[in-house]
Structure formats: C-alpha cells, structure tokens
Structure 1
Amino acid sequence: MTRSPATPLPPPKARRRLRESAALTQPQLATRVGVTPATVRAWESGRTTPRGRKREAYAKLLKTLAEEEAARLAKQEQEREREREREQDALPDPVPEPKPEPKSEPVALTPAQAFDALYAFSAPALVRQTFLLTGRREQARESVERAFQTAWERWPEVARDRDPVGWVRATAYEYALSPWQRFRPRHRHPEPPPADPGDRTLLNTLLRLPPRHRRTLVLYDGVGLDLPETAAETEASTPATANRLLHAREAVAGRLPALADPRVLHRRLAELASNERLRAAEPPAVRGGGERRARFRTRAAIAFTVALVGTTALTARTAPTHYEPPVSPGQAVRGVPHKVAPGSLSDEELELRQKLRDQMQDGPERLSPRLE
C-alpha cells in the first residue's frame, strides 16, 4: 500500500502572515493544532519542521486560513471595483490616451551580473546599518563583505529567496554581533568616535543597549521593517520583539529625551549612519574574496582527508597483527626458600671449585663422564 504524499507547507514567513491575517495568536493556533505555543513559534521561525499527524493538521489549518484570506481579498477587490465603477460613472468620458509603445523583453542576467546588481544596490546601506550595531567602521565593512561572500557561495539559494537583501542583512548582523569579535586584536583598539557631539552621544547610547535590543531597534526604527518582519529576522516571537523595542526606546529616551518620538529617532538614526563616510568594496573584489575562501576551504578539506588517510594507512601498517596477552603479575610460592645473598664459600664449595678447575675444559671427557 503506497503512502499518500505529505501536504505541502508554505514558507515560515507565510505561516506567520496567514496566522496574523486571521487574527489568531500563537496559543490559539497551538490549541487548534494540538501542540504548544513554543512549537508553533519554532515552526514559524523555520527552526523546526512539523511531521506526522501534526504536520497534516497544521497544513490543513493553514490551507483553510489561506482560502479564507483569498476570499476576503476577492471580496475587497470586488468592493473596490464597484467603487471605481461608481466613480467612473460620475466622471465625464475620458479623453482616449495614446497606445503605449511595446515594451522590450527583459534581458536575462548572468549570476555574476545579478550578484553585482544586488551588491551595488544594498551594500552601502547595509554597511551604514551595521555601523549602528557595532560602532566600528572596519568591522561593519568586513561583516557586510563576509555576508555577500557567503551569499555568492550560496547564490542559487539567495537568488530564489523572496528577500535577498534581508538574507544578506541577517547574515551580516549575525557576523557583526558574534561574541568572538571581542577576542580579536583589532577590538582592543578603539576607533575615533563621530565628530558631531550629538552623533557621538547617540552612538554611545546605542552601544550600551543589549545586542538583541540594539538589533531590534535598528531593524524597526532604522531600517523601517514592521513588527512581524523584525520578529522573523531576529528569530523571536512578536510579543518578545515588541518588548525589546519598548525597552530599547525607553533606554534611548532616558539619555536623550528629544528622541522619545519614534519619527525623530528614525531621522536621527538615518543622519548618524549617513554622516559617516563608509565605503564598500567593489563587487568583483567581493566575489573574488569569496571564491578564494571557497578554494582555501576545499584545499584544507582535501589536505585533512589526505592526512587522515595517511595516518590510517600508517597505523594499519605498524599495528600488531596478533594479540599478545599481558604478563600476569608475580605471586609468592610457598615452600621455596628465599634466595640468599652471595657470601664466602665453604670448604666443600672451595674443594669442588678447585676440582672443576683442575679438570680439562674440552674433549670427550667433558661429554662422557667416567667412574672413579
């Protein structure tokens, strides 16, 4: 008996969007599927994938939510169409417009050209955003370049992603906020602060925030993402993201009361990032660096494999071919006198030694004793 194929699931971001469009919370959806809210949170962030009966129930529920959303959108579209028809009836007859010229078909780009276009479009802004997270210009440039090098290594995956810029941004932020950055020698030497006192105070306030709160504030008030997108990129729930954002805003407003208004905070973050003249490397240099890293890792893996094979062969060549049991420890034997230390010979021993010395040392007499 063949097993029916599993019901397909939408991407994690689409799952979250369908739930929120239906005005369902994670506990409510978890109750309808029969799992815990933490499991739903993991499904929506993409950390885990549902399986078995839970997957089927989850897929059917998402399908129902998608159908309901499509019905709502169709109804809204019909209402807008009727509204446009009513407005059109109230207006005089429009003047006929000239026919548009036929559009030329888009030219297909090579992977390198598509990567260069994405890099040229988003790299400068990503460097400025990463500077708000780290406060270090060179580290911001390096983080963005490493993120784009990783994107070039996985270009088929990144090219098919719905938000390639978000993919690169998340990778750059993870690299920039990695804990091991503090152990680098360059981290011990501080960089010159911004020249403007206001920018310097705002940057110091941002750097005093916890990394998660700082990243949430930059994504929401700096980049301009909405709350669900910010929660998905930081791999947190929407309530947790909202709490982080509120705490970050309170901390900034506590030191800079003029930035209590989110619109003023957004403008000041943009000004702080724009005042620093941060330049990114050229796209061919970034692609070349990624290719060199890939070749180095490949050669290192080959060298490690060769060394492992050689070590295994040497061990097989020099290893013993049979088992040699260990020598058991000695045990005392009863009834055998202990060996005494050598001392002076007795008269009988002296006479025996002299007799042996007087006899011949070789010849048949030594082999066949005779009677005396």
Structure 2
Amino acid sequence: MTQSPVPPLPPPKERRRLREAASLTQAQVAARVGVSRETVRDWENGRTTPRGRRREAYAHVLVSLAEQTAQMTAEITAEITAKKSPEETEPQEATGGRDMTVGQGARERAETAVRTAVPAAVPVEDPAPPPEARPERPLSPAQAFDALYAFCAPALVRQTYLLTGRRELARESVERAFELAWQRWPEVACDPDPAGWVRATAYDFALSPWHRFRPRYRHPEPPPSDASDRALLNVLLELTPPQRRALLLYDGVGLDLPETAAETEATTPATANRLLNARAAVAARLPDLSDPTELHHRLVELASTERLRAAKPAVVRDGSERRARFWTRAAIAFTVALIGTTALTVRTAPTQYEPPVPPGETVLGVPPRVAPGPLSQKEQKLRAKLRAKMQHGPERLAPQPQ
C-alpha cells in the first residue's frame, strides 16, 4: 500500500459529475475547499488546476462525494434487490455455501465506485477477490431509471418552482419529463448528461405558454409566507422566461456560461445579455441581491422553504407506460378508421364521370311546331315570287361528245 505525496485528481468531467451526483452546487463545494465559486468552475472546466493545499483539500472533498454517491447507489440497489421475488434471487447453495449479504455487496460496490471515481486519492487496499466470488450483475433499465430519478427529481422540482411559481405545475413538469425519459430510455441512458436532458425537458414543459389556457392554472397560487421570499419570487416571475431560465441555470444551478447557452439553445453572447439584464432587474428591485453569491444563496433558500415532494419512481414509470399504451391504441384506432373510410369510399365511388342532369325549365315565346299540310296564301305568294324571279349566273356546262 503506497501513498503519493500529491494525490491525483479525476478528469474535469468526473469532478462535475461527482458534484452533481451529490446534489451540491459549485458554491457549496467552494465553501468546503475555501475558494470562490469561479475557481471551482474553472477547475471543473479544466481551465485551471488546483495546487498545493487546495489540491489536497479538493481531492478529499471529491473522495467524500464519491463515497456518498456510492453509498446512496448501494442503498438504492439494496432496496431494489430486497423487493425482488424469491424466484429472481439465486439460492444460497448456488454460491458454494457462502453467505453473501446485501450489506456486504453494497460495501464492495461503494469501494469500487470510490476507486473508479478518484483513483489513488486515498490509500485503498485491493484485496484479491475470492475465487468463488461471482461478478455483480449490471443494473436493469428500471433500476438505473430509479437511481437517476432519486438523484435529480427532488432538486429539479424546487428549480422548476422558481421558474413558474406554481407548486403543482413544478411537480407535473418533472413527472412529465421523467415519463418522456422512460419512453426514450435508450437515448437518455446513452446521453453524456442524462440529468441535463431531463432538466431541459422539464424546463421546456414548465415554461410552455399553453398552460395559460388550462383552467387549473388560470388563477395564481398562494405566495410564500415570508415577505422577502415573496418579493424575490415576484421579481423572478416578472422577468421574461429566457432571462428567468438563464438566471436560474447560471446563478441557481451553477452551470457555466457556454453550458447555459447550450441548454437554452442560444448563443453565448445572447445568454450573457439575458443574464446581465436579469441581474440588473433583480438588483433594481432588491439592492441587497446585487452580489451574485448572495443571489445564489437566496435562490437556494427560496427553493428550500417550500416542501415540494416528487412522486415515487415506480409511479412515474407506470404513468409513462399507461400514457404510451393510450396513445398507441389511439393511433391504431385512428388508422383503422381511416382505412375503413378509404375502403368505403373506393367501394361506393363511381368508376366513370357522369355529368349531372340539369333541372327542366319552361321556355316562353317559341311558336308551336306546324304539321305538314297545304300551303297558306302567304307561302303560295312567296313560292310564285321565287319561281318568277330570273336566275343570274353562268350557264350550266354539259359535256359534248367529240
């Protein structure tokens, strides 16, 4: 067992992943290390590298975050494994008479997660595994979805509440986002940032302008009881949705400016302008929040005052499957109706063009048809005149024999 004088750090992306998995902001990590939030942001982006005592302190913080994440994952896995039916669990005799408890497996997974997340940050012994030890099974899609939901849903509900100011809409937005994530789970599971995918979907649903036409969201909800919380929430709701979203992602969640621009599907200069305008509007109404650090703390406190609880992951998965079955059956019924209508039209339609028969009309002023008979006096005079009139023109030519 060896210990290096300067413990190595994980890659920048792994540092950010560990912080987000522990549901911590950059300001909270900076307070533990004793630096500013901008410094932690540069460390996670790979722009700068900590040195000296800051490096050691940052490494120990990452180790503690990795242990906490591994412990939470182990507890969720143990809870899911305990709920399995007796047919799914292998009998104890299949492991050679070895007593493999859930707690022991959880501890082994936690140690493996710590060694993988922060290699050589702390001295960890690697005992040789016994030959009869069987490898751990990978998590099923449902278990992985439940783990992602347990890590992201509680904080995401509070963030969505700051966007909309409505508690019920915040819970509904998060549930709809995770329902869509479960329907597209292969795509979400392979995404480099599944939490960001769900967060962007929840924000889009929460800020949809169609909610104003729903009867349940036409009237405002009761504001927070504290006067300062009410003032801050009113200022946030007076901002435009793009400004409110940029302010929450940058000063609330702790994303970097390019990441905020990418999540809001805007350019970096446009996102910077939205952020500056939002900060100026908040500072004009609440001068005490002109400092970004103080604004971040107030946003966290405002989101934490409301007791917003998300639904169970199993309920969300069942709702997603019911919704998918409903729309699938509706699409099948519509397709069958369309096919039937088309077949009936083809069967009853004429094969050639038949012009329509116009309706009969009464014609006036036409003399009746005269039947054949003797000529009248007028007709006789006309015949005599024509016969007596001399005919002019060339004589008729007749052939003559030679």
TM-score range, shorter chain: 0.5 to 0.7
**Partner residue, 1:152:** 182
Could you tell which deviates more after superposition, 229-238 or 182-191?
182-191
Match of 2:312 among 253, 275, 282: 282
SS in structure 2 at match of 1:307? helix
1:273 has 2:299 as partner: no
Superposed counterparts of 1:1-372, under 5 Å: 99-101=125-127, 107-327=137-357, 336-337=366-367
Q: Describe the superposition over 1:257-287 as per-residue Cα deviations: whole angstroms up to 9, x where unpaired.
A: 0000000000000000011000000000000
| Uncovered stretches (5+) of structure 2, i.e. residues with no partner | 1-45, 52-122, 370-402
Cα separation, 2, equivalents of 1:290 and 1:153: 7
Q: Describe the superposition over 1:90-127 as per-residue Cα deviations: whole angstroms up to 9, x where unpaired.
A: xxxxxxx7844358966410000000000001000000
| Uncovered stretches (5+) of structure 1, i.e. residues with no partner | 1-72, 81-96, 340-372
TM-score (norm 1): 0.62
**Partner residue, 2:94:** none
SS in structure 2 at match of 1:194? coil
**Partner residue, 1:89:** none
Cα separation, 2, equivalents of 1:165 and 1:325: 66
**Partner residue, 2:37:** none
Cα separation, 2, equivalents of 1:324 and 1:262: 79
Cα separation, 1, equivalents of 2:329 and 2:206: 27
1:322 Cα offset (Å): 2.2
| C-alpha distance 195-98 of structure 1, shift in aligned 2 (>3 A) | closer
Cα separation, 1, equivalents of 2:164 and 2:322: 26
One-letter identity of the residue aligned with 1:141: R
TM-score (norm 2): 0.58
Cα separation, 2, equivalents of 1:143 and 1:338: 85
State the identity %.
Answer: 73
Cα separation, 1, equivalents of 2:357 and 2:286: 80
One-letter identity of the residue aligned with 1:101: P
One-letter identity of the residue aligned with 1:215: R
1:152 Cα offset (Å): 0.2
How much is the aligned-residue C-alpha RMSD, in angstroms? 2.8
Q: Describe the superposition over 1:163-185 as per-residue Cα deviations: whole angstroms up to 9, x where unpaired.
A: 00000000000000001011110
| C-alpha distance 102-126 of structure 1, shift in aligned 2 (>3 A) | farther
| C-alpha distance 281-252 of structure 1, shift in aligned 2 (>3 A) | same
**How many residues were matched structurally?**
249
Cα separation, 1, equivalents of 2:307 and 2:332: 42
Q: Describe the superposition over 1:146-204 as per-residue Cα deviations: whole angstroms up to 9, x where unpaired.
A: 00000000000000000000000000000000010111101122211101111111001
Cα separation, 2, equivalents of 1:160 and 1:256: 43
| C-alpha distance 148-317 of structure 1, shift in aligned 2 (>3 A) | same
Cα separation, 2, equivalents of 1:117 and 1:148: 12
1:229 Cα offset (Å): 0.2
